[in-house]
Amino acid sequence: MSDQSFFKRKWVQIGLAIGVVALGVIGSEVLVATAPTASRKPPEKVARLVTTEPVKAGDYTVSLLGYGVVEPEQQITLQARVSGTVQSIGPKFVPGASFKKGEVLVQLDNTDYRIELQTAQAALAQAQSTLTSELGNQVVAQSDFELLGLNVDERERALILRKPQLEAAKATVQSAQAGVERAKVNLERTILRAPFDGVVVSREASVGAQVSATTALGVLASSEAYWISVAVPQADLKWIKFPEGKQAGSTVCVSDASSREDGCHKGTVLNLQTSVQDNGRQAQVLVEVPRNNNKNLQPLLLAQYVKVRFDGIELRNVFKLAPSSVHDNTVWVNDNGELDIRPVNIAFRSAEYVLIDRGLNNGESIVTSNLGSPVNRMAIRTNEPPNNATTPAPAAVKP
């Protein structure tokens, strides 16, 4: 075969290959151009399902919670006022025991003080006898002076009539009487009685112990009422009523800090103390609780850690919401199927509830659901029937 025919056949093959490729490209463009196109539709808005709750304004008393330690209204250290030996101890002088005012707690040996009283009484009798004798001498001196008819000055007259001797005898009687009274008081002081109704906090006295006027025999606490110094944030003091004139302070409800009981011991606010706690810089409110004013509850104990709930000032025409329904000073309102993120004014906030005085209206429904990414005016829906839906009347119940 010649070279000319070889090259001719080669060029024919190349031309056929190029033609096939060109036809394929043209065909694919025609298919793309004539292919059907799908029309895009905007995504439908899906309303978020929420739960709602209608609100209604009312009058609510602000409630504050604080903590403190129970202390006695009065507490003293029992001390002997005379020296002596402890002869006996009263049955009520036991730590934790209750006693009444005037009960004997400690009896000292009174032998020396009885002898002292007898000695003082004898001295008084002697002084009174001397005074009686001197009064007799006064009569004799007066009679002699009148018989003699002496003309003397006032000083000489007093000496003749024995007035200095009479004054000395009277002074001796007065001193002896004071000695008797002192002896009686010392004898009485050998009996140590309870100065008020209370409980025994501690006892240091023992039978046979020698005590002096400075010896501490025990600690007594009054049981008429308890005092509690309650720590309260200074910003919350405006909600507490303090006594002023005839107006009493806020009432309080006191219970054990760890108790789950519903009942509590009732008390009142006495005053605001002049110092604050170093830790937290909280104010100290003094509260008084009468002893055992609720006999159905466990009585309060000294040094007991308690929680104190204050019934504070009443706020009128406010809305009471759960803290979970308030979001950074805003409330979510269901406004005809749209979410209205509405700013409100919080009058009072606690861990249990929030009181709102501006921003809401009676009858509005607030959203109580937890929305992850709330957007103002977003569509929302509820499972509740619309307001204009009619509810069928219940069937009559046959008697």
CATH number assigned to the domain comprising residue 229: 2.40.30.170
Q: Are residues 264 and 126 in the same domain?
A: no
Could you tell me if residue 133 is inside a domain?
Answer: yes
Residue 8's pLDDT is: 64
- Give the β-pairing of 225-232 and 58-72: antiparallel
Q: Which two tokens mark 299?
A: 């009585």
Domain extent for 139: 110-188
**pLDDT value at 127 more than 80:** yes
Instruction: State how many domains the chain has.
Output: 4
pTM tops 0.75: no
Q: Are residues 217 and 242 in the same domain?
A: no
Q: Are residues 196 and 101 in the same domain?
A: yes
Closest listed residue to residue 229, CA positions, set 385, 66, 81, 340: 66
Tell me what the mean pLDDT of segment 275-302 comes to.
81
Tell me what the mean pLDDT of segment 251-263 comes to.
84
Per the prediction, the chain carries an average pLDDT of 83
Residue 159's pLDDT is: 67
Residue 306's pLDDT is: 93
Could you tell me if residue 32 is inside a domain?
Answer: no
Q: Which two tokens mark 346?
A: 């919080």
The residue to which tokens 């249990």 are assigned = 352
- Give the 3-state secondary structure of residue 223: coil
Q: Are residues 234 and 296 in the same domain?
A: yes
Q: Are residues 279 and 358 in the same domain?
A: no
**pLDDT value at 398 more than 60:** no
Q: Are residues 143 and 179 in the same domain?
A: yes
Tell me what the mean pLDDT of segment 301-318 comes to.
92
Q: Place 163 in a pLDDT band, splitting at 50, 70 and 90.
A: confident
Residue 399's pLDDT is: 35
**Rounded percentage of the chain residues whose pLDDT exceeds 90:** 48
Q: What is the CATH number of the domain that holds 212?
A: 2.40.50.100
- Give the 3-state secondary structure of residue 25: helix
Tell me what the mean pLDDT of segment 348-369 comes to.
91
Q: Place 33 in a pLDDT band, splitting at 50, 70 and 90.
A: low
- Specify the range with the lowest mean pLDDT, choosing from 161-170, 238-247, 273-282, 384-393: 384-393
Tell me what the mean pLDDT of segment 100-107 comes to.
94
